Amino acid sequence: MHTLLFILLLQSPAHLSYRQLTFSDFRGHGSEPGLTVSNIDLIDNDTDGITTYRVEAYFSPKESYINLRTAAVLQHEQGHLDITEIYARRLRAFLSQHLKCNHQQQVVVSNYYDQLIADWSAEENLYDKETDHSREKEQQAAWLKKIASEMAQ
């Protein structure tokens, strides 16, 4: 049985696209009640001097963990992934105006991406600070309402 579990873990994907998370998605280890590791990648493709872009937002199961398996902690960690998705959508919306870019426009896209990543990181940190990692119930509820509103747009 341990061998089968080990094989299944090796075959599990390194990254998951956006979705509602479950406890089984968290396969990492750590000391805090929970941690969500997610990322936003900007993938470019250059053909004949024209650059096109693709945005991938994803969750990293092997780096993410939940030690305190409560609905509140899972909901808080989902909030982190939702914030990631919100910023990925913002990037996609920006790129829809720059579908095919020449070299000068690449600089604009690169600068926008760098600023977006800085803003995303700041919002993730503010989310943890204001909610005290889900411990401040009123703040957590306010953040979840804000996140849900942004996700609905």
Q: Establish if 115 belongs to a structural domain.
A: yes
13-27, 30-44, 56-70, 122-136: which has the minimum mean pLDDT? 13-27
DSSP string for residues in the chain: -HHHHHHHHHHS-S-EES----GGG-----SSSEE--EEEEEEEEEETTEEEEEEEEEE-TTT-EESS--HHHHHHHHHHHHHHHHHHHHHHHHHHT-SSB-HHHHHHHHHHHHHHHHHHHHHHHHHHHHHTTTTSHHHHHHHHHHHHHHHH-
Which domain range does residue 128 map to?
A: 13-152
Q: Establish if 17 belongs to a structural domain.
A: yes
Q: Establish if 1 belongs to a structural domain.
A: no
Provide the pLDDT confidence category of residue 17 given band limits of 50, 70 and 90.
confident
Q: Establish if 120 belongs to a structural domain.
A: yes
How many domains does the chain divide into?
1
Q: Establish if 3 belongs to a structural domain.
A: no
Q: Establish if 117 belongs to a structural domain.
A: yes
* pLDDT at residue 13, as a whole number: 58
Q: Establish if 104 belongs to a structural domain.
A: yes
pLDDT in tens, 92-135: 999 988 666 666 778 888 999 999 999 999 999 999 999 999 99
Q: Establish if 87 belongs to a structural domain.
A: yes
